[in-house]
Chains A and B, each alone.
Chain A
Amino acid sequence: MEYFIQQLVNGITLGSIYGLIAIGYTMVYGIIGMINFAHGDIFMIGAFVALISFIIFGLTGVALPVILLLVLLIAMLFTACYGWTVEKLAYKPLRGSFRLAPLISALGMSIVLQNYVQVAQGARVKPMQPLISGGLEFFKNSEFVVTVSYLQIFIVVLTVILMGIFTYLITKTDLGRAQRACEQDRTMTALLGINVDRTISITFIIGSSLASVAGMMFVLYYGVIDFYIGFLAGIKAFTAAVLGGIGSLPGAMLGGLLIGLIETFWGGYVSLEYKDVAAFSVLIVVLIFFPTGFLGKPDIEKV
């Protein structure tokens, strides 16, 4: 039982990170119907910006909560700029051309970002000493002591808060209404006087800043990053988005949690060697019975 709870905590933490990245995939898909394959690399850029700012602020000796907040804001700002630029350079000129064109340019963008970071920052792993250590211990009297580190709590709480904010943004504000309108019919939305290009740009900015939050968490939690982390995390997050139903915001979060939990529990109870196989097998089975994922809307007909 205690072991189960420990693995649950591990899985939820991992799932939160996947979920935050998955939101970026799902939002972009929802609004322009393309898979932004460069999103995993945007996450990687977010992680690098966070690492660099942690090191800079670490030297100033400012209090820890202030550092966390500053790094969060800086990472979001920088990464949002990257997301915005990627959209303007690689996707906007191709809007209205045939459906595969932006997909190919997304793959190209992914390679460009990866190689850019490899050249600019070097190919070696970039480590960071643990910033937040320690945690809470439960079931102290039993044989297995469950440890929940402060970092794990921080990650889950931050994810829940961000999810709350963005759900409100999409469902209750003018911006969210404009986004949902673009999702349904772009031409009609434009006729009604909404700036479609701006709405799409804002979507990219939101998705990228969420990815940068995931990047910051990654740096804090694992402490080691390299230019290649975007690939694996991107694939997993994309899978999460598909599993939860691509185009749906709660679906992305649900998918992320599911992938995180499946990986952890399979690794914990069956075999660590085949945990990726397990995660992707579940994806296949789910897609057989729910072709649009758990919370996806069946009426969308795109790539």
Chain B
Amino acid sequence: MFRTFNKFLSLIAASLMLATVSAKAEVVVASAGPMSGQYASFGAQLKAGAEMWLKHVNKKGGINGEKVKLEIGDDACDPKQAVAVANKFAGQGVAYVAGHFCSGSSIPASAVYNEEGIIQVSPASTNPALTDKGGKYTFRVCGRDDQQGEVAGKFLADNYKGKKVAILHDKTAYGKGLADATRKNMKKAGLKEAMYEAYTAGEKDYSALVSKLKSNNIDAVYLGGYHTEGGLIVRQMRDQGMSTKLISGDALVTAEYWDITGDAGEGTLMTFSPDPRNNPAAADVVKEFKAAGIEPEGYVLYSYAALQVFEQAAVQAGSNDPAKVLKVMRKGKFDTVIGSLSFDKKGDVSLPGYVFYEWSKGKYSEL
């Protein structure tokens, strides 16, 4: 009795397996980032961009006649979870990943993607090591922290000559990398920092740090870290009666920063690429995002563009096979919502660098 039952079961299992194989006339792409945890607002940005692209591409009938399926991976900006997500994608037969967000996640995940032959294009990870040490399957459509640090370091040296600048970082791959790049460039331009400190991401109490900044009469704080901590630090600085300026990088480009700081965030400066929302090629897509109730701020359009690159490369290659798409990506030129771009030998993008933005009244605008 049991034996027949077992045979029956294995028959079902076998037919199910066959079914999945025969149903594979679709190409699977993925978007990965912190969908949960304290950086979830950035995960939401990547997801929004990817879902909008999916809608558009399937309306056009997919890529090379194959329907597109989108998988969402949640790494919570945790390096271990990022590797688990990457392995899961490999098991799901994902051909192309637009992710991850945090550099600390993208770098370990890229090792898996290179081993499995999955193309990875990060919309947001700016740490130089991602492409410097990454394999041939690794790309990014955002800038690098050495570019960002150059802009920030020069700005600080020019505007705070003879004044006191403190550099803080959160010990993550992104935060420390950015802080160190800025520190190096600031020194090159002739200004040495007055303080260099690290804090722990996820903490809420920065009163000791703020008092320390106050006693050192710091005029400006450069922060290598994310908006949740940056917001709290600026808020606690204002609570202790300090008017010190906060200057940071691209991890502040989310409306959530203002939710945390309130009016304390007034005048905060950050570096980010020229706003893709102003790009004429993006006008239609931006309108569509707004109609759907999504503000395409920060990295939304980057996520959309990362997937556009795959779409165009696959069409040019005439195949959805990652190995063939990769060859086109190395050489080709792609028209995306963030501009016309190509990739260099390392996998870095040929887009203009960073400019300064200022937060004011809940919005950021180019300085």
The answer to whether A and B belong to the same complex is yes
A interface residue numbers (CB < 8 A to B): 3, 6-7, 10-11, 13-14, 118, 122-125, 127, 129-130, 133, 135, 137, 143-145, 147, 149, 151, 218, 222-224, 226, 228-229, 232, 263-265, 267-268, 271-273, 275-276
Interface: B262 (CB within 8 A)? yes
B interface residue numbers (CB < 8 A to A): 35-38, 40-41, 171, 197-200, 202-205, 207-209, 211-212, 214-215, 217, 228, 231-232, 235, 239-241, 256, 259-260, 262, 264
Cross-chain contact A224 with B231 (CB below 8 angstroms) = yes
Output the least CB separation between B62 and chain A (Å).
32
Interchain CA distance A223-B217 in the complex, whole Å: 26
Residue of B204, B241, B264 contacting most chain A CB atoms (<10 Å) = B204
Cross-chain contact B241 with A273 (CB below 8 angstroms) = no
Residues of B within 8 A of A137 (CB): 241
Can you list 6 residue pairs at the A/B interface with Cβ under 8 Å?
A14-B207, A125-B256, A218-B204, A267-B209, A272-B199, A273-B199
Cross-chain contact B211 with A7 (CB below 8 angstroms) = yes
Cross-chain contact A272 with B212 (CB below 8 angstroms) = yes
Cross-chain contact A10 with B204 (CB below 8 angstroms) = no
Cross-chain contact A264 with B208 (CB below 8 angstroms) = yes
A145-B241, A147-B241 known; A267+B38 contact, CB < 8 A: no
Interchain CA distance A212-B321 in the complex, whole Å: 56
Residues of B within 8 A of A11 (CB): 208
A124-B41, A130-B235 known; A264+B207 contact, CB < 8 A: yes
Cross-chain contact A6 with B211 (CB below 8 angstroms) = yes
Cross-chain contact B208 with A272 (CB below 8 angstroms) = yes
Interchain CA distance A127-B230 in the complex, whole Å: 13
Interchain CA distance A272-B197 in the complex, whole Å: 7
Residue of A232, A264, A272 contacting most chain B CB atoms (<10 Å) = A272
Starting from the known contacts A130-B235, A144-B215, A147-B240, 10 additional A-B residue pairs (CB-CB under 8 Å) come to A10-B211, A14-B207, A130-B262, A130-B264, A226-B38, A232-B202, A268-B211, A272-B199, A272-B212, A276-B200
Residues of B within 8 A of A275 (CB): 208
- Select A224's contact among B40, B199, B200, B232, beta carbons within 8 Å: B232
Cross-chain contact B40 with A123 (CB below 8 angstroms) = yes
Which residue of the partner chain A has the closest CB to B240? A147
Q: What number of residue pairs across chains A and B have CB atoms under 8 A from each other?
A: 97
Cross-chain contact A124 with B256 (CB below 8 angstroms) = yes
Which residue of the partner chain A has the closest CB to B214? A144
Which residue of the partner chain A has the closest CB to B211? A6
Residues of B within 8 A of A232 (CB): 202-203
Cross-chain contact B208 with A10 (CB below 8 angstroms) = yes
Interchain CA distance A133-B171 in the complex, whole Å: 31
Interchain CA distance A153-B221 in the complex, whole Å: 28
Cross-chain contact B36 with A223 (CB below 8 angstroms) = no
Which residue of the partner chain B has the closest CB to A276? B200
Residue of A124, A147, A232 contacting most chain B CB atoms (<10 Å) = A124
Cross-chain contact B262 with A129 (CB below 8 angstroms) = yes
Cross-chain contact B260 with A125 (CB below 8 angstroms) = yes
Cross-chain contact B41 with A273 (CB below 8 angstroms) = no
Cross-chain contact A222 with B202 (CB below 8 angstroms) = no
Cross-chain contact A133 with B212 (CB below 8 angstroms) = no
Residue of B199, B200, B208, B239 contacting most chain A CB atoms (<10 Å) = B208
Residues of A within 8 A of B40 (CB): 122-124
Output the least CB separation between A270 and chain B (Å).
10
Residues of B within 8 A of A118 (CB): 36
Residues of A within 8 A of B35 (CB): 123
Interchain CA distance A176-B26 in the complex, whole Å: 69
- Select A222's contact among B41, B205, B217, beta carbons within 8 Å: B205
Residues of B within 8 A of A218 (CB): 204
Cross-chain contact A228 with B202 (CB below 8 angstroms) = yes
Residues of A within 8 A of B215 (CB): 3, 6, 144
Cross-chain contact B212 with A267 (CB below 8 angstroms) = yes
A224-B260, A228-B202 known; A268+B212 contact, CB < 8 A: yes
- Select B198's contact among A130, A268, A272, beta carbons within 8 Å: A272
Output the least CB separation between A239 and chain B (Å).
15
Cross-chain contact A133 with B256 (CB below 8 angstroms) = no
- Select A125's contact among B38, B199, B208, B239, beta carbons within 8 Å: B38
Interchain CA distance A130-B207 in the complex, whole Å: 16
Cross-chain contact A268 with B208 (CB below 8 angstroms) = yes
- Select A127's contact among B197, B202, B207, B260, beta carbons within 8 Å: B260
Cross-chain contact B239 with A147 (CB below 8 angstroms) = yes
